[in-house]
Amino acid sequence: MLFCLTASIASARTDGSSISAVSNYPAIYVAKPEPELTNGLGCWIWDSVTLNKQTVRLWHNFDVPKGNPVVRAELRIAADNAFKVWLDGQELGSGSDWRTLSIYHLEGTLRPGLHVLAVEGFNDNDQAGIILGLRLETANGQLIRIRSDLTWHIVPNSDNHWETALHPANDWPNASVAANFGRMPWWSIPTSVLHIREELPKPISIWQNRNFQIGLLVGCAVFVAVCIYLLIQLVSQSKAHHLVQAERDRIARDIHDDLGSKLTQLLLTGELAQIESSPARGTPLAQMCDGARNILATIDEVVWTVNSQHDNLEDFVIYVCKYAQQFLESSSIRCRFNIPQELPTKILSELTRRNLFLAMKEALNNAVKHSEASELKVQIEFNGSRLNIIVVDNGRGFDSEQTGQNRNGLTNMKLRMAEIGGDCRVVSRPGGGCQVSFRVPLKQSSFFKSLFQSRNHSGSKARFPSHREGVSSPEKTIGESSY
Amino acid sequence: MKSPAKSNSSKSTVDSIIKVALVEDQKDLCRSWVQIIESFGGFKCICTCASAEEAVCEIPNALPDVILMDIRLPRMSGIECTSRLKELLPETPIIILTVLDDDELIFRALEAGADGYLLKRSKPADLHAALLDVLEGGAPMTSSIAWRVVRSFRRPPANPRNQAHLSSREIEVLGLLSRGLSNKEIADQMSLSVETVRSYLKTIYEKLHVHCRTEAVMRYAANRSASAMPAPPNTREKFTAA
């Protein structure tokens, strides 16, 4: 016995260094193996056949009950000739001396649920076996023991990921008992004991969780993709916006340069013919000249509407006032304006401008035709984000209640205002003049829009930059103002 | 500052025939204009130019009483041409001719020194009236132009050295004009004669021109005239005067 003890000390010292080199775990050596160390061990198990240079895989699962934390866990294992052990697919360690009992302290790793213990044994020659015992102690004193016995399964060497499989496959046979504990040729007391304490795994932070990391990565990728998509949308939209503007400007320029000058030439020829023949007023020649003049005025309106330079409130107000003054010049109605000197910088789309202008025109037309007024006032005001245009005359008026709001001209005005999200109100009573109010919501000129606007303005500062050349090469002008 | 005497003398020597210079790049239109202008009686087209460059070169030599200027010209625009001619012939009135009733374009021409403007589609009688009006020192102004003038003076001058301020009376005239009143109505309301109102408008145009004039344009004009022309216009002017 004394001899045995000294031998075990020697063997522990000599073997210790080689084992600790294999294992990553800090090891503590116990000089004197105590008898209770072998408590809870099963029997030596192996495959039904024993061969030289044989690898045998042993597999067993066990359950840790919920609501009952494991406070102590020890796995004791020895193998002839060598073993490697995994818990839940994670390698615990290995050993290659059949006389040494390795004790793994597993507190903290075993959470409630199903666990898998997997052992790979290797036999160099002659007899082979693996002996082990897992002893779990829960907080309320319950003991769970797993021993090496016939309930273990032998896993065929061809199977992959067997060390993580939670349930045995059908073709996994049960293990065979090579020898009961204490029987020859193996020990009843190990010559040395190796304690291996696993360092408590640090609680994994959420950002260290693999799934979380993958999720985060995917999230980032999706975000970047969405950003790129939106950016492309924005760029293409602004490109389209520029192209439309450039095209509108080109149309305006073409109308002006071609149609405008040719018609002017025609008009002047007509005027000359009139001068030379000096006919009385109202002759066909004079009518023709007046017709040409009207067409030129209409061209003016079209060019003004189409030209994107005028997509702003200020140009609109100026244009409308000028139109009103010119329109009423030939009538007996005086025209008065009430316009704030400072107009806010707002974008007025072509649609809004056109509809608002045509509605205004209708109102002026009605005044000249029906009102018999001596004065007409155009009042423009801003009420927060609303533009109000009020046309008041001092004419004979009509009963707006009785006539209803359904007269042709009024319907037209209402339709035009509805198209741009505004409304139109006509208030009149016999002898009390007539008041037509148009109300339109104004969009705040956003950063991007103002950016486009400013680029557009700087792009074609010289209004119709090229003269005749501009007409012959529309591609050039599009390129100029859009990029 | 030397031109008024000169232009007066030239007017009197040629039997009070008013000499007109025309800048118009389209030949057909140009011919028609000449015929129409000469049909008025008492007017003669002494110089027609097909481009602004030609105008800057020819018109100072021709010494017209009034210049009709197309706003849309190839290369140099009618606006720039107006600006340069005003430096060379500050007393000669310039009337801008335009196909398009584009307020801003017209206003830029007025800033450049034009004394009036006319739509090309105007009746010959209107052209006649405008020519006579501008020669008498009239300065036509619509409510929308008045509105723009007021705004233009709110901005700092193009060149800080060219400080021009409107008098309170001038501002009052502009205010009434932008509210839609005619010259006569303004005269009545302010207890002035129509002539005085017209002279106010003339002064306003001159101040506007000063307010918007930049030294750079003048320098550029001087450089151009020195390098591009056969002889500097000033020496030519002297030469013809002699």
Spell out the domain ranges in chain B: 10-137, 143-212
Q: Is the pLDDT of residue A467 over 80?
A: no
Mean pLDDT confidence for A98-125:
86
pLDDT, residue B59, reads 87
CB atoms within 10 A of CB B55: 28
Question: Distance from first CA to last CA of chain A, Å, rounded?
Answer: 98
Counting residues of chain B whose pLDDT is more than 90, the rounded percentage is 2
pLDDT of residue A407: 65
Token pair listed for B72: 């849309």
Segment A217-226 mean pLDDT? 94
Range with the lowest mean pLDDT among A262-271, B57-66, B224-233? B224-233
CATH code, A309-445:
3.30.565.10
Name the closest residue on chain B to residue A317, using Cα atoms.
B144
- Indicate yes or no: CB of A463 within 8 angstroms of CB of B102: yes
Q: What pLDDT is attached to residue B1?
A: 37
- Quick one: pLDDT band at residue B101, thresholds 50, 70, 90? confident
Q: Mean pLDDT across chain A, nearest whole number?
A: 78
- pLDDT of residue A452 exceeding 50, the answer is no
Class of CATH domain B10-137: alpha beta
On whether any CB of chain A is under 8 Å from the CB of B99, the answer is: yes
Chain A residues touching B155 at Cβ < 8 A: none
Q: Would you list the domain boundaries of chain A?
A: 2-201, 205-306, 309-445
CA atoms of A251 and A474, how far apart (whole Å):
9
* B29: contact with A, CB 8 A cutoff: yes
User: Band of the pLDDT at B217, cuts 50, 70, 90?
Assistant: low
A290 token code pair: 């007046």
The CATH number that domain B143-212 falls under is 1.10.10.10
- B144 contacts A321? CB cut-off 8 A: yes
pTM value is 0.57
Domains B10-137 and B143-212 share a fold: no
Say whether A267 and B121 touch across the interface (CB within 8 A). Answer: yes
> What stretches of A342-420 adopt beta strand conformation (E)?
375-383, 386-393
Cβ–Cβ below 8 Å for A334 and B180: yes
CB contact under 8 Å between B99 and A322, yes or no, is no
Among residues of chain A, what percentage have pLDDT more than 70? 80
- For the cut 70, the answer to whether the pLDDT of residue A14 exceeds it is no
The CATH class given to the A2-201 domain equals: mainly beta
Interchain contact, B103 vs A275, CB within 8 Å? no
Contact call for B100 and A341, based on CB within 8 A: no
Q: How confident is the model over A144-185, as pLDDT tens digits?
A: 889 999 899 999 988 888 888 889 988 899 999 988 888 888
pLDDT for position A19: 41
pLDDT at B125 exceeding the cut of 50: yes
Q: Is the pLDDT of residue A397 over 50?
A: yes
Backbone angles phi, psi at A439, to 5 degrees: -125, 125
Contact A335 B180 (CB under 8 A): yes
Average pLDDT over residues A9-33: 44
Confidence at residue A120, expressed as pLDDT on a 0 to 100 scale: 93
Higher-pLDDT residue of A351, B138: A351
Query: How many interface pairs between A and B have CB atoms less than 8 angstroms apart?
Result: 100
Do β-strands A129-138 and A143-147 pair in parallel, antiparallel, or remain unpaired? Answer: antiparallel
Contacts of A303 in chain B (CB under 8 A): 100
Residue A278 has what pLDDT?
62
**Eight-state DSSP code of residue A126:** S
Least confident window among A314-318, A440-444, B220-224: B220-224
Residue B172, pLDDT > 80, answer yes
Q: What pLDDT, on the 0 to 100 scale, is given for residue A279? A: 58
From B122's Cα to the closest Cα of chain A, the distance in A is 8
Complex ipTM > 0.95: no
What is the pLDDT, as a whole number, of residue A382?
83
Residues of A in contact with B24 (CB under 8 A): none
**Which residues on A lie below 8 Å from B28 (Cβ)?**
265
- Alpha-carbon gap, residue B241 to B63, rounded angstroms: 10
Phi-psi region of A467 (alpha: psi -120 to 50; beta: other; left: phi over 0): alpha
A337·B73 Cβ contact <8 A: no
**What percent of chain B has pLDDT above 70?**
79
Reported as a single tens digit per residue, the pLDDT across A264-307 is 888 888 888 887 776 565 577 888 888 888 888 888 888 888 87
Question: Mean pLDDT across chain B, nearest whole number?
Answer: 76
Q: Looking at the predicted structure, is the pLDDT value of residue A204 above 80?
A: no
* Top CATH class, A205-306: mainly alpha
Among chain B residues, the shortest Cα distance to A262 is held by: B29
Give B-chain residues touching A322 at CB under 8 angstroms. Answer: 101, 103, 142-144
State yes or no: pLDDT of A118 exceeds 90: yes
Find the mean pLDDT for residues A342-360: 83
pLDDT of residue A33: 54
Beta bridge partners of A64: A113
Distance in angstroms (rounded) separating the CA atoms of residues A259 and A264: 8
Q: What is the structure's pLDDT at B214?
A: 62
Distance, CA of A342 to CA of A380 (rounded, Å)? 11
Mutation site, A254, A267, A288, A294, interface B, largest B CB count within 10 A? A267
- Cα separations (Å) of A97 from A14, A170, A469? 12, 33, 98
Q: Which residues of B touch A325 (CB under 8 A)?
A: 142-144, 180
Burial class of residue A208, CB neighbours in 10 A (0-12, 13-18, 19+): exposed
B25 touches chain A (CB under 8 A): yes
Residue A408 confidence (pLDDT): 62
Which residues have C-beta within 8 Å of that of residue A447, sequence separation ≥ 6?
A: none
* Mean pLDDT for the stretch of residues A418-427: 85
Q: Which two tokens stand for residue A50?
A: 């024993």
Q: Of A120 and A203, which is predicted with more confidence?
A: A120
Most confident option among A212-216, A326-330, A379-383: A212-216
Q: Quick check: A81 and A124 in contact, CB under 8 A?
A: yes
Residues of B in contact with A473 (CB under 8 A): none
Which tens digit of pLDDT belongs to each residue from A73-92? 889 999 988 999 998 888 88
Measured between CA atoms, how close is A301 to chain B, in angstroms? 9
> In whole angstroms, what is the distance from residue A437 CA to residue B190 CA?
32
pLDDT-derived band of residue A342, with 50, 70 and 90 as boundaries?
A: confident
Distances (CA, A) of A207 to A138, A154, A221, A224: 31, 38, 17, 20
Q: Choose the weakest-confidence range: A45-54, A238-247, A309-318, A455-464.
A: A455-464
Q: Is B77 on the interface with A (CB under 8 A)?
A: yes
For an interface test with A, the pick among B26, B32, B141, B181 (most A C-beta atoms closer than 10 Å) comes out as: B32
User: Mean pLDDT over residues A55-76, rounded?
Assistant: 88
Closest residue in B to A293 (Cα–Cα): B121
Least confident segment among A21-35, A91-105, A291-305, A361-375: A21-35
